Amino acid sequence: MDLAPPCSWLQAFFFLALFWFLNCGYVHGATPAVKVGNFSKVEDAANFHIYYGQTFKVIKNSADGQSYLLLQNNSRIASRTKYCTSRIKSFVIPLSNYSVDTNYFPVSFLELLGLVESLKGISTNSVASPCVLKLYEGGQIEMFNSSDYQKLADFSSYFVSDNDQQPACNFATFAPYIEDTPLQRAEWIKFMGAFANVEARANQIYSAVKENYLCLAKIATTRTTFKPTVAWMKYTNGVWYFTKEKYQLKYVEDAGGEILGANKNTYNVSDSDDLEELHAILCTVEVVIDETITSYPTNYTLSTFIQNLNVEDRSCFSFISNTSLWRYDKRVQNSIALDWYNGAMPQPQLALADLIEVLFPTGNYTTTYFRNIAKGEVPINIGPEMCDRDTSAAMDPTTVACG
Ligand SMILES: *[C@@H]1O[C@H](CO)[C@@H](O)[C@H](O)[C@H]1NC(C)=O
Ligand SMILES: *[C@@H]1O[C@H](CO)[C@@H](O)[C@H](O)[C@H]1NC(C)=O
Ligand SMILES: *[C@@H]1O[C@H](CO)[C@@H](O)[C@H](O)[C@H]1NC(C)=O
Ligand SMILES: *[C@@H]1O[C@H](CO)[C@@H](O)[C@H](O)[C@H]1NC(C)=O
Ligand SMILES: *[C@@H]1O[C@H](CO)[C@@H](O)[C@H](O)[C@H]1NC(C)=O
Ligand SMILES: *[C@@H]1O[C@H](CO)[C@@H](O)[C@H](O)[C@H]1NC(C)=O
Ligand SMILES: *[C@@H]1O[C@H](CO)[C@@H](O)[C@H](O)[C@H]1NC(C)=O
Ligand SMILES: *[C@@H]1O[C@H](CO)[C@@H](O)[C@H](O)[C@H]1NC(C)=O
């Protein structure tokens, strides 16, 4: 799980040469020693690495196959060196400003690091963060069209989370999504921290999150009670799919549940054999998480699920009779941006705590991301008025009571 991608000898040679070159530049330069401060060591994430020199850092990013050379702004090398090739890019750090492609970027990472006030641009105002919305409304963050490359060039860096766009020199790919486990995703906070010299904060948050997550998982998985069977399922164009997303399967395992082991993952509801098989297999499921995408989450209710399922006789569905039918769109902005893809990414302990409550209900824990549609729970709309903290300060992670 935490195997680093193999590094070819050519790459290794390249890095040795780079370190030699930069350190030489440093030794002979007149610049006084620049303290990098604290270091981040990547322990769990598999898709990025950080190396430290005296006046620079190198991030190797598997998401786009690039190496980012982060040059301290007060070093000589920062004024002399600029890279922008297909394999290596340089950035002068700490970034004085940056922008993000808000379609996918989980801004919650920035809030935990206390970096939200140097966020100066967003590509859409569909953002599941009250404080980013507030800064946008107050004019401190501007919105631009992500195909306006001239505009994008105004920022010290533009962070994107997918590779859909033709990259420019100041683009950096922030892709926690490509990791397989919730903790690996959360560790990408160290990636962002490196661009702002806030390694100490990034390390502190990740340690706190990981400790809390592992504590919750330990209690949940050592339960002696039965393990409920869980199905994550999604309906699109007449077909139901069971998820194969590894991080979701990992959440269920860590919450003490069992993933539904169906023979196949797709069921066409217009095909009577498929429907019969889906009906049968769902009779063995205790908890359903309905991930169906909808343009208006408030209107996605139990009856929508039943309509999509198209099964007449639901008497054997214990997840309905026992009211255990959930969606992760409890917190949503503008009907589009789910906080599940934002806040839960750097703080998986909150998502895990939710799932433990979903699997083993106590009635004594208020879920953050999950709502029970079998109980008629409706989404909460995220708006700027919900920002209740000083945006210049870092947001603290939430520790869930454990034990
Ligand atoms: C490094 O982190 C430790 C603990 O967070 C802190 O006490 C120390 O001042 C930091 N050092 C630097 C140079 O930032
Ligand atoms: C380097 O960054 C720090 C922190 O943002 C800033 O205070 C300082 O003025 C910058 N130095 C240079 C030479 O740009
Ligand atoms: C962004 O710019 C592109 C190209 O100029 C244009 O086709 C598109 O409609 C613009 N998008 C928005 C949301 O304005
Ligand atoms: C971002 O910082 C750079 C370098 O300091 C500056 O040239 C640029 O104007 C700033 N851009 C914005 C949008 O503030
Ligand atoms: C589902 O089955 C129906 C009837 O057999 C067929 O017309 C339709 O194309 C199928 N849909 C998909 C997505 O395969
Ligand atoms: C119904 O849910 C309760 C917890 O609320 C659980 O103990 C019980 O086993 C569930 N029954 C079925 C049939 O899934
Ligand atoms: C949501 O449901 C209400 C009540 O059924 C209906 O009036 C409204 O048009 C629906 N809204 C959307 C966007 O589908
Ligand atoms: C409910 O949670 C609170 C706070 O975590 C705890 O003090 C209390 O004992 C719990 N009550 C029950 C019935 O589990």
Ligand 2: which residues within 6 Å by Cβ? 73-74, 94
User: Cα–Cα distance between 251 and 285 in angstroms, integer?
Assistant: 17
397: cis peptide before it, omega within 30°?
no
* Residue 180: per-residue pLDDT: 97
Above 70 in pLDDT, residue 311?
Answer: yes
Separation CA 397–CA 403 (nearest Å): 18
CA distance 296 to 278: 26
* Ligand 3 centroid – CA 372 distance (Å): 38
pLDDT of residue 103: 87
Residue percentage of the chain with pLDDT more than 90:
81
| Position 278 pLDDT exceeds 90 | yes
Q: Whose CA is nearest to atom 14 of ligand 6?
A: 286
Condensed to tens digits (0 to 9), the pLDDT of residues 184-217 reads: 999 999 999 999 999 999 999 999 999 999 999 9
From the list 349, 339, 346, the residue with the least C-alpha distance to 369 is 339
In angstroms, how far is CA 255 from the centroid of its own chain? 19
Per the DSSP assignment, residues forming a β-bridge with 259 are: 230
Name the residue with the closest Cα to ligand 1, atom 1: 38
Can you read off the two tokens belonging to residue 247?
A: 């991080």
Local structure of 173: helix, strand or coil: strand
Q: Calculate helix-pair angle for 348-359, 199-221, nearest 10 degrees.
A: 10
* pTM for this prediction: 0.90
Contact 67, 50 (CB under 8 A): no
Q: What is the CA radius of gyration of the chain?
A: 23
Ligand 7 close to Cβ of residue 13 (< 6 A): no
Q: Distance between CA atoms of 292 and 294, rounded to whole angstroms? A: 6
CA–centroid distance, 38 to ligand 4, in Å, is 26
pLDDT > 80? residue 21: no
Q: What is the pLDDT of residue 25?
A: 38
pLDDT digits (tens, 9 = 90+) for 376-394: 999 999 999 999 999 999 9
Looking at residue 163, its pLDDT comes to: 73
Pick the residue whose CA is nearest to atom 11 on ligand 7: 299
Long-range contacts of 140-148 (CB under 8 A, 24+ apart): 144/99, 146/101, 146/103
Torsion of the alpha carbons at 247, 252, 255 and 256, rounded to the nearest 10: -140
What is the CB-side half-sphere exposure of residue 58 using CA atoms within 13 A? 20
Q: What is the pLDDT of residues 122-167, one digit of tens each?
A: 999 999 999 999 999 999 999 999 999 999 999 999 999 887 778 8
Distances (CA, A) of 103 to 53, 337, 341: 34, 8, 10
How far apart CA 57 and CA 230 sit, in angstroms, is: 43
CA of 53 relative to ligand 6 center, distance in Å: 56
- The helix/strand/coil state of 57 is strand
Residue 96 CB–ligand 4 contact under 6 Å: yes
Domains and CATH numbers, the chain: 1-93 (no CATH), 210-386 (3.40.50.1980)
Ligand 4 neighbourhood includes 144 CB (under 6 angstroms): no
* pLDDT, the chain, mean: 90
